[in-house]
Amino acid sequence: MILIDGKKVAAELREELKGEVSQLKKQHNKIPGLTVILIGDLTPSQIYVRNKERSAKEVGLNSEVIKYPDSVEEKTVLEKIKELNVDATVSGILVQLPLPKHIDKQKVIETIDPSKDVDGFHPMNVGNLSSGYESSIPCTPLGCYLLIKKIEPNISGKKAVIVGRSNLNGKPMTQLLLKENCTVTITHSKTKDLKSECLQADIIVAAVGIPELVKGDWVKKDAIVIDVGINKTEKGIVGDVNFNEVSKKAKALTPVPGGVGPMTIACLLKNTIECFKRSQI
Ligand code: NAD
């Protein structure tokens, strides 16, 4: 079984991006910039944002974090986004989710200029992705896609089963695999027989949030299995896939941690650079 080393692939990608940033600097005399808005003091969000900032600096991007207390008014955040939309030094804007209840997530997402939407959540980017046009692609599914392609560059005609239909993971993952000519089934909490759906898959992507949901006897021999889940349990952080069982069946499997997670941030940097490049045309 191939253990898909997301840490290593992400480090390679960051190295590649570092080279690209120095090339862009020479070419345009400018550096792509990422601005993150962080609201409140949720520990996981603070950790994610710190990691994003560190990685952005590591590849040579300009990086800025704007912090607001939990009590910030929605209006203040929307005004700041509008300011960033017209700031030529800002290539990408990310508002760290989740947001406090009094702030309308959709309004925030739709206020970000789609050309600076490094998370790929703006309806314009969602539409472009599903129409097969150029767009920002949500970072986690993009990371999963790159890992799959690393294992198997030609996946045309493969049967893929996505477990979970979130806007963040499952739905964009479906679009990416459709673009590669996979036959894609998207499953969710109301799917009648998840096991038999998974058993047909050459590629499984699990993005559910239920510890070790996907069992060894759900997986066809030599399938590629990508585990997006991050679940805190008594035995530590586990994914949505039962690693011990599935590693005996799969051709390739991502560990948790060290699989999809590191790719997410690397793909955010990639998206920032892509937004910059598109703005220079
Ligand atoms: P979500 O809660 O938004 O969506 C979960 C999806 O799973 C829903 O579509 C739901 O229909 C489906 N589901 C729920 N129960 C099910 C069941 N019994 N059988 C089949 N489907 C079921 O979750 P999300 O935001 O997509 O996140 C999923 C997991 O991925 C979480 O563990 C989250 O922490 C993790 N995550 C990881 C990364 C990363 O960088 N690795 C990034 C984002 C999310």
Give me ligand 1 centre to Cα 21, in Å. 33
- What lies within 8 Å, CB to CB, of 75 at 6+ separation is none
pTM value is: 0.97
Contact 12, 262 (CB under 8 A): no
Of 52, 55, 193, 208, best ligand 1 pocket probe by most atoms within 8 Å of the beta carbon: 208
Q: What is the mean pLDDT of residues 91-99?
A: 97
Of 197, 227, 230, best ligand 1 pocket probe by most atoms within 8 Å of the beta carbon: 230
For residue 257, pLDDT beyond 80 = yes
Rounded CA-CA distance 169/97 in Å is 14
Predicted confidence at residue 249, as pLDDT, reads 97
* Protein residue closest via CA to atom 43 of ligand 1: 140
Residue 171 appears among annotated catalytic residues: no
Q: Kindly report, residue by residue over 185-229, the tens digit of the pLDDT.
A: 999 999 999 999 999 999 999 999 999 999 999 999 999 999 999
For residue 32, pLDDT beyond 90 = yes
Q: Which of 137, 89, 146 is nearest to 117 (CA)?
A: 137
- What lies within 8 Å, CB to CB, of 216 at 6+ separation is 242, 244, 245, 246, 248, 249
Predicted confidence at residue 1, as pLDDT, reads 97
Residue 96 appears among annotated catalytic residues: yes
Question: Is 227 strand, coil or helix?
Answer: strand
Confidence of residue 174 (pLDDT cuts 50, 70, 90): very high
Domains of the chain: 29-113 (3.40.50.10860), 139-261 (3.40.50.720)
- What lies within 8 Å, CB to CB, of 189 at 6+ separation is none
Contact 9, 150 (CB under 8 A): yes
Residue 30 appears among annotated catalytic residues: no
Rounded CA-CA distance 99/17 in Å is 30
Q: Kindly report, residue by residue over 45-86, the tens digit of the pLDDT.
A: 999 999 999 999 999 999 999 999 999 999 999 999 999 999
Confidence of residue 30 (pLDDT cuts 50, 70, 90): very high
Predicted confidence at residue 281, as pLDDT, reads 75
Predicted confidence at residue 223, as pLDDT, reads 98
CA angle, residues 235, 238, 8, in degrees to nearest 5: 125
Exposed / middle / buried, residue 232 (Cβ in 10 Å: 0-12, 13-18, 19+): exposed
Average pLDDT, the chain: 97
Q: Kindly report, residue by residue over 108-158, the tens digit of the pLDDT.
A: 999 999 999 999 999 999 999 999 999 999 999 999 999 999 999 999 999
Name the DSSP class of 158: -
Q: Is the CB of 166 under 6 A from ligand 1?
A: yes
